[in-house]
Amino acid sequence: MSILVDHCGVEAEEKKVHDVEWSEKEIELGFVVPHANSFGHTFRDYDAESQRQAGVENFYRTNHINQTFQFVKKMREQYGKLDRIEMSIWECCELLNNVVDESDPDLDEPQIEHLLQTAEAIRKDYPNEDWLHLTALIHDLGKVLLLPSFGGLPQWAVVGDTYPVGCAFDESIVHHKYFKENPDFNNPSYNTKYGVYSAGCGLNNVMLSWGHDDYMYLVAKENHTTLPSAAMFIIRYHSFYALHRAGVYKHLMSDDDFHNLNWLQIFNKYDLYSKSKVRIDVEKVKPYYLSLIDKYFPDKLKW
């Protein structure tokens, strides 16, 4: 499969990434999926009683009420300027030690632990796909939006599952009932199957709820990363569970989206199930990831 790389806004380079069209059973091979998360519950169980469950549901209520088409448009324009700070990828990884994702029922470790757990699990099973190792390391870096130096956005505007705005909210989205309080829910311009979009328009032309996924995508793109488009797709849509788990919104996808979705579904297994108590020796693996950062990114990035 030929992957076009965005560079300076121009499709300037072609990278080769092997085609992947594996079945669900084949995807599960190689990586041992644990039976329980850090709290001893089934992964992504939003009904299980746990010490964080009430907080998670309240998070989604606030998220679903406030993530409107106009809100997302405003945030993309504001944060797309990338005028907050200049720093390296690794410096951002270290900043993330100060972040805990309140929307996640499976994780209570610092974010850097999860990033390295995911990256190292993928590295073991896909040793030749170094772009995928780095993608795993950086996919959640946009969560720095929670920090004061990045505007200190509320959790509901940074983390949690993402979903399209500008068209109907699919019932597969977790805690869907709270969308009834969203101003777009009864707006005829936004509440139909296609809304402001058209069949096969491509996800690149669809606005999703604002959060760390889209922000990190903008950071990587505008700083001219040489990562392949499959990596950019993973970064931008890894929280889009309605698509890659429930299989909805495919009527908006382009042919390229379908190709990249294969890689996202592979990545998601590691992103979700590597949330465990397995500790990673950061200093031991750091030189390897620094070499990948140097390969695919400039020394300093605008954020």
Please give the span between the terminal C-alpha atoms of the chain, in angstroms, as a whole number: 31
- At 20 the pLDDT is 43
Query: With 0-12 CB in 10 A as exposed, 13-18 as middle and 19+ as buried, what is 166?
Result: buried
Exposure b/e, 102-138, CB count within 10 A at least 16 = b: bbbbbbeeebbbbbbbbbbbbbeebeebbbbbbbbbb
CA atoms within 13 A on the CB side of 242: 22
Look at residue 158 in the predicted model and tell me its pLDDT.
97
Burial class (CB in 10 A: 0-12, 13-18, 19+), 77: exposed
Dihedral sign from CA coordinates of 133, 115, 217, 52: positive
Q: Which two tokens stand for residue 18?
A: 């092997």
- pLDDT at res. 12: 33
Binding-site residues from annotation: 44, 101-103, 114, 139-140, 143, 160-161, 212, 238-239, 271
Q: Is the pLDDT of residue 11 over 80?
A: no
CA atoms within 13 A on the CB side of 148: 0
Question: 255 is written with which tokens?
Answer: 């042919």
The total of other beta-carbon atoms located within 10 Å of residue 284's CB is 8
Q: Which amino acids are annotated as binding site for substrate, given as ranges? A: 44, 101-103, 143, 160-161, 238-239
pLDDT digits (tens, 9 = 90+) for 166-211: 999 999 999 999 999 999 999 999 999 999 999 999 999 999 999 9
Give the whole-number percent of the chain exceeding pLDDT 70. 78
pLDDT for residue 106? 53
Residue-wise pLDDT for 33-92, tens only, equals: 444 444 344 444 545 555 667 889 999 999 999 999 999 999 999 999 999 999 999 999
The pLDDT tens digits of the residues spanning 105-159 come to: 555 566 777 899 999 999 999 999 999 999 999 999 999 999 999 999 999 999 9
Q: What is the pLDDT of residue 196?
A: 98
Query: How many angstroms separate the CA atoms of 65 and 72, rounded?
Result: 13
The answer to whether residue 228 scores a pLDDT higher than 80 is yes
3-class secondary structure, 193: coil
- pLDDT one-digit tens code per residue, 239-268: 999 999 999 999 999 999 999 999 999 999
For residue 231, which of 137, 157, 143, 153 has the smallest C-alpha distance?
A: 137
> Residue ranges for the binding site for Fe cation?
114, 139-140, 212, 238, 271
CA distance 266 to 268: 5
pLDDT at res. 114: 81
The predicted-structure confidence for 28-39, as pLDDT tens digits, reads as follows: 444 444 444 443
Q: Which two tokens stand for residue 256?
A: 């390229």
